[in-house]
Amino acid sequence: MNSIAQWFPLGWEPFLYGGIFIGLGVSVLFWLTGLIGGVSTAYTAVWSLVSRHPFFQHEKFITTRNWRLMYGLGLIVGAVVFTYTLGHGEGFVTQVPLWQLFLGGIVGGFGARMGGGCTSGHGICGVGSGQLPSILAVIIFLCTAVITAHVVRALGGF
Question: What is the extent of the structural domain holding 53?
Answer: 2-154
Residue 23 has pLDDT above 70, yes or no: yes
Band of pLDDT at residue 114, cut at 50, 70 and 90: confident
The count of structural domains within the chain is: 1
What average pLDDT does the structure give for the chain? 82
Give the per-residue pLDDT at 91: 62
Which pTM does this prediction carry? 0.66
> DSSP of the chain, one letter per residue?
-HHHHHH-TT-SHHHHHHHHHHHHHHHHHHHHH-----SHHHHHHHHHHH---GGGG-HHHHHTHHHHHHHHHHHHHHHHHHHHHTSTT------S-HHHHHHHHHHHHHHHHHTTS-IIIIIIIIHHTT-HHHHHHHHHHHHHHHHHHHHHHHTT--
Higher pLDDT, 67 or 136: 136
Worst-scoring range by mean pLDDT, 56-60, 74-78, 110-114, 129-133? Answer: 110-114
Band of pLDDT at residue 88, cut at 50, 70 and 90: low
Residue 151 has pLDDT above 90, yes or no: yes
Neighbours of 86 (CB within 10 A): 12
Higher pLDDT, 89 or 99: 99
Give the per-residue pLDDT at 8: 76
